[in-house]
Amino acid sequence: MSSSTPTPQRVCFQLQVHPERLEEYTRRHAAVWPEMLQAIADAGRRNYSLFLRPDGLLIGYYETDDDAAAQRALAADPRTAAWEAEMAPFFVALDGARPDQGAPQLTEVFHLEDQLAALDAEPGPTPPA
């Protein structure tokens, strides 16, 4: 990666889906509205995945160059409002927030590529003279 390329931010978040709505939530995400998919991409999010546990724990992950800008873009994009309004009732304890803005983010504590890059950057042993 060149020095002019920003390091992507890796963002992970969690939400809790109501257990009685897991099947419907999964079905809705099998074919997300095309305009919502485009809004996510236009906001600068990529490599976006959702993982759902049988008890309703939802973990999301995406990469972006500027998460604050992506959040603002999605909050202001009229394409996202209808999707977020339809998805909000699926979640436990959002306290009225849209799912995109109300999801608590998790702190990254390990990233393999970062640690490997740090190893590669360390000077190696000096060979004997």
Q: Say whether 111 is catalytic.
A: no
Catalytic residue among 19, 24, 29, 42: 29
Question: Which stretches of the chain are assigned E, i.e. beta strand?
Answer: 9-16, 46-52, 57-64, 105-106
Gap between the Cα atoms of 58 and 56, Å rounded: 6
CB 37 within 8 A of CB 62: no
Gap between the Cα atoms of 76 and 82, Å rounded: 12
Q: Is 63 helix (H, G, I), strand (E, B) or coil?
A: strand
Q: Catalytic site residues?
A: 29
